[in-house]
Amino acid sequence: MTSSGATRLTRASRNVSKRGGPSLSPGLSAELAALPTAKSGSLRRFAEYLAESRDDRQENIAGIVERLKSMERGELRLWDALAIAQSVATLKATPQDQRFDILFLNIADHLHALGTSQMSPRTLIDTLCLFEVLNIRPKALYVDVMHQLVRQTTAMYPDELTGLLVTMARIGLSSPAMLDRIAASIRHSQLQNIRYLHGCELVGAMAALGYDNSAFYTALDNRMKMCAEMMPVEEVWDTVKYLPSLQYSWKPYERSIWDELSRRTSKFYNELHVDEVSDPVSFMQFLRLHKRLDKRFMSAMAAWARVAVYRPTSRTSRRPTARELALIVDYCQE
- The DSSP result for 142-193, as a single string, is HHHHHHHHHHHGGG--HHHHHHHHHHHHHHT---HHHHHHHHHHIIIIIGGG
93 vs 283, which has greater pLDDT? 283
Q: Is the pLDDT at 132 greater than 50, yes or no?
A: yes
**Over pLDDT 70: what percentage of the chain?**
89
What single-letter amino acid sits at 162?
T
Q: Is the pLDDT at 30 greater than 80, yes or no?
A: no
**Average pLDDT of the segment spanning 75-82:** 90
Q: Is the pLDDT at 17 greater than 70, yes or no?
A: no
* Cα separation values, 169 from 201, 202, 294, Å: 10, 10, 39
Mean pLDDT of the chain: 85
Confidence of residue 31 (pLDDT cuts 50, 70, 90): low
At 220-238, the pLDDT tens digits run 999 999 999 999 999 999 9
Predicted pLDDT at 154: 83
Residue 285 burial class via C-beta count within 10 angstroms: exposed 0-12, middle 13-18, buried 19 and up: middle
14 vs 46, which has greater pLDDT? 46
Predicted pLDDT at 178: 87
Q: Is the pLDDT at 313 greater than 80, yes or no?
A: no
Predicted pLDDT at 199: 96
Predicted pLDDT at 232: 94
Confidence of residue 3 (pLDDT cuts 50, 70, 90): very low
